[in-house]
Amino acid sequence: MTTAVATRPAGRVSPSRRRPHTASSRRRLAPYAFVFPFVALFVAFSVYPMLFTLQLSFTDWRGSGAAHWVGLGNYTYLLQNPAFWSSLGNSAAMWALIVPVQMVLALAIAVLLDNAKTRMRSFYRVAFLVPFVTPLVAVAQIWVVVFDQKYGAVNSVLNAVGLPDVGWLVTSQWAKPTLALLFLWKTTGFIVIILLSGLQAIDPAVYEASSIDGASRLRQLRSMTIPLVRRTLLFSVVLQTLAIFQMFAEPFVVTQGGPYSSTTTAGLYLYNHITRADLGTGAANSFLLVIIVTVLSLGFVRLLRSED
């Protein structure tokens, strides 16, 4: 519709002079049209179900028959239930196990892959991203076999170097790290790419200047690289924090939340109400999570802002 206008440079003065009003009203209306498709879907498939969840959370509905109003009953049941708190604790523990390790590891790989002297860089980029594209349900099976206490490959290696067996998936102290490893394995490649993008945005001149100063590689890394990719790092942390808080599929397929509920994450705990058709409690649980996530995310938004 604008073809004619755009290919008519000679005539550009007159129409734009003739239509200042139309152009500006169009400009006023345009953003509404642009965000509308998104807002429509958003209202229909996010806002509406959320309101519905809110309503459900005050009932004892079990998926069929009549629902009874139970007031805040579901909320008090959850808030007084140690299992609810331990599901949050498990998610927090997963965060602590994953995020620091992943950031260090991903940054190390990214720095190496950013270095033009490293060979086969594009091969490595692909190799590290392969786990990211592997279907999780298959990976879970692999984890079960590889981390078997007595006959898994991992313990065989440990034995070979004289270390004792570890009950990876069968003890409550090791099950979390084992799941954390799965998460690390699956997502580190993606974080590497994100960090790499931050690194490549650094002006090479900065490094050249410091090389002339005779700064060692390690010092360069600490005093220049890290501060310069700080925002990218923070972005990755936020991304992973959200992913870990929502983590559900990994424990669901590998440990079913065990042993002793030690891997029942916040997401899995919520899911368990749903599978037991306890939809009212599930809804209340959802809302408690929404509140927590909102607070967390407001905190992060503030953190990101303060970095500006």
**CB neighbour list of residue 263: distance below 8 Å, 6 or more residues apart:** 90, 175, 176, 179, 251, 254, 255, 257
Of the candidates 307, 148, 170, the residue with the CA atom closest to the CA atom of residue 229: 307
- Residue 173's CB is within 10 A of a number of other CB atoms, namely 10
Q: Does 173 bind other proteins (CB under 8 A)?
A: no
Decide whether 48 or 100 has the Cβ nearer to other proteins.
48
Q: How far is the CB of 140 from other proteins (least distance, A)?
A: 7
x-or-dash pattern for other proteins, window 27-66, by CB under 8 A?
A: xxxxxxxxxxxxxxxxxxxxxxxx-xx-xx--x-x-xxxx
Q: Does 142 bind other proteins (CB under 8 A)?
A: yes
Residue type at position 128: F
Go through 41-67 and write b for each residue having 16 or more CB atoms within 10 A of its CB, e for each that does not: eeeeeeeeeeeebeebbbbbbeeeeeb
Decide whether 96 or 302 has the Cβ nearer to other proteins.
302
Q: Does 17 bind other proteins (CB under 8 A)?
A: no
- How buried is residue 73: exposed, middle or buried, by Cβ count under 10 Å (0-12/13-18/19+)? middle
Using CB under 8 A, which residues numbered 196 to 255 contact other proteins? 196-202, 217, 228-232, 235, 242, 245-246, 248-249, 253
x-or-dash pattern for other proteins, window 71-110, by CB under 8 A?
A: ------x---x-x-------------------------x-
Q: How far is the CB of 306 from other proteins (least distance, A)?
A: 15
Q: Does 163 bind other proteins (CB under 8 A)?
A: no
Q: Does 158 bind other proteins (CB under 8 A)?
A: no
Question: What is the rounded CA–CA span in Å between residue 205 and residue 2?
Answer: 43
Q: How far is the CB of 98 from other proteins (least distance, A)?
A: 16
Q: Does 16 bind other proteins (CB under 8 A)?
A: yes
Instruction: Choose, by CB under 8 A, the member of 76, 156, 159, 211 that binds other proteins.
Output: 156
Q: Does 258 bind other proteins (CB under 8 A)?
A: yes
Of the candidates 178, 184, 146, the residue with the CA atom closest to the CA atom of residue 251: 178
Structural tokens at position 88? 């949050």
**Number of residues in contact with other proteins under rule CB under 8 A:** 142
Question: What is the rounded CA–CA span in Å between residue 308 and residue 301?
Answer: 11
